[in-house]
Amino acid sequence: MTVEVKVPMLPESIADATISAWHKKAGDVVTRDENLMDLETDKVMLEVPSPVDGILKEIVKKSGDTVKANQVVAIIEAVAKPAVGNGEVAKAPAATAREASAALSPAVRRVVAEHEMDVSQVKGTGKGGRITKENVTSAMQASTGATTGRPEQRVPMTRMRARIAERLLEVTQTTAMLTTFNEINLHEVIELRNKYKEKFEKAHNTRLGFMSFFVKAAVEALKRFPAVNASIDGGDIVYHGYFDIGVAVSTERGLVVPVLRNADQMSMAEIEANIAEYANKARAGKLTLEEMQGGTFTITNGGVFGSLLSTPILNSPQSAILGMHKIDQRPVAENGQIVIRPMMYVAMSYDHRIIDGKDSVTFLVAIKELLEDPARLLLEI
């Protein structure tokens, strides 16, 4: 009996998807619920599992093809699992060693899909014979002879990268974006974190990072400056009575911004745990569209990559974004004395159509004051 493999229902507002990579080829043994291929949309990566045990008889749509929900992408020749003694069920035929080694990581899948490579010819040197990104890169160089000279490659943008480019260009063209800067002395935050981070981790089973301090400070500042938590809709200003904070996460596919819903109601432990979960899901390509939609304010941290200063671009339709940067030991004046303190430059880009310069500056000063005296975050003063 043959069974059709169809594109699953796509998230709301997404009309179609692109086949990013097939993980099986015609003639391969497949098992029920095994991931056959990856589908890339503008924002998320989806997996298409096998509906039955059997043999992949035909691949109807190839890598790079655009498909819609319910469209047939492959045909499987179903193979029933025959019953054996004592009520047990016989196992489906085992895949070959090559097929086992071709269980690619998301990062490798993307490289393979972008360059339309046949991984059956790639020798895996990872654990258990898995194919690594370095294996794929070496195979590409060997096949093109790109070990000397001035090689170059032309590859199409992924759907996600193209969408990011489109949105960033749109923001710069449709908003009156401006950036204001300040610097924060993080001495007190670091002292507090160093004193309690071990107890915090034991009590809450999550590490105490810097982001929870910044989220808490941002929420408190947003309460004082409602325009920063607002957005423009046509000729109206929409003031949001809730605080959904987007936290930018960098992945190999691009920057994604999962949202902490009702961040004002979260404890620091809940903020840290949610951010850690989102980061893991983002890097595995498992974030859902719902987890990235909405948001009233965004925080992005270029400091983890060593950035000292930057001008972050707005996450439309939000009216402001806070940019964190590298913590740098610098000499500063305190009470007439020169001391070395852990300093961070911060930047807030904002839409000048809705936020005045005074409000943008005093908003950032409020965040600075809260973080330089973190007890105020706990006392909400």
150: in domain:
no
Which of 144, 172, 188 finishes a domain? 144
**CA distances for 113 relative to 18, 23, 71, 136, 156, angstroms:** 11, 10, 20, 11, 11
- Give me 322's structure tokens: 């806070």
As a 3-state breakdown, the chain gives helix, strand, coil percent values, each rounded to 5, of 35, 25, 35
User: Does residue 221 lie in a domain region?
Assistant: yes
Counting every residue written for the chain, the total comes to 381
Please state, in angstroms and rounded to a whole number, the distance separating the CA atoms of residues 143 and 213.
50
Residues of the chain with pLDDT > 90, as a percent, come to 54
pLDDT of residue 98: 41
Selected residue with higher pLDDT from 286 and 129: 286
pLDDT of residue 96: 44
- Residue 353 has what pLDDT? 95
**Do 290 and 349 fall within a single domain?**
yes
Note whether 271 and 278 are within 8 A (CB): no
Please tell me whether residues 273 and 342 are part of one structural domain: yes
Task: Tell me: pLDDT of 86 over 60.
Answer: no
Rounded to whole angstroms, the Cα distance separating 86 from 78 reads 24
Is 154 a member of any domain? no
CATH code, domain carrying 222? 3.30.559.10
CB 317 within 8 A of CB 295: no
Does position 92 have pLDDT exceeding 50, yes or no? no
Q: CA angle, corner 94, sides to 109 and 86, nearest 5?
A: 135
Q: Which of 114, 144, 174 is the last residue of a domain?
A: 144
Do 92 and 209 sit in the same domain of this protein? no
Average pLDDT value for residue range 298-307: 94
Tell me: the pLDDT tens digits for 144-163? 555 556 777 777 788 888 88
Least confident range of 7-11, 231-235, 340-344:
7-11
Rg, Å, the chain Cα set: 25
Question: Are residues 196 and 76 part of one domain?
Answer: no
Counting residues of the chain whose pLDDT is more than 70, the rounded percentage is 88
Residues 285 and 340: their CA atoms lie apart, in Å, by: 41
Same structural domain for residues 139 and 164?
no
Q: Is residue 89's pLDDT more than 70? A: no
Same domain (yes/no): 63, 123: yes
Overall pTM surpassing 0.75 (yes/no): no
CATH of the domain at 98: 2.40.50.100
As a whole number, the mean pLDDT across the chain is: 86
Residue at 357 is within a domain = yes
More confident residue, 281 or 157: 281
Task: Say if 151 falls within a structural domain.
Answer: no
Q: Tell me: do 243 and 134 sit in the same domain.
A: no
2-6: strand order across its sheet: 2-6, 72-78, 54-59, 29-30
Residues 114 and 230 in one domain: no
Write down the pLDDT at residue 101: 38
Q: How many structural domains is the chain composed of?
A: 2
**What's the distance, CA 74 to chain centroid?**
29
For residue 155, being part of any structural domain is answered with no
Q: Name the residues annotated as catalytic.
A: 352, 356
> Cis ω on the peptide bond leading into residue 151 (within 30° of 0)?
no
Q: Are residues 107 and 173 in the same domain?
A: no
Q: Which domain holds residue 173?
A: 160-379
Q: Residue 52: inside a domain, yes or no?
A: yes
Residues 123 and 214 in one domain: no
Question: What are the tens digits of pLDDT across the range 225-276?
Answer: 999 999 999 899 999 999 999 999 988 777 889 999 999 999 999 999 999 9
Q: Examine the domain organization and report whether 107 and 165 are in the same domain.
A: no
Closest to 186 in 3D by CA, of 348, 373, 338: 373
Q: Please report whether residue 153 resides in a domain.
A: no
Residues 243 and 346 grouped into a single domain: yes
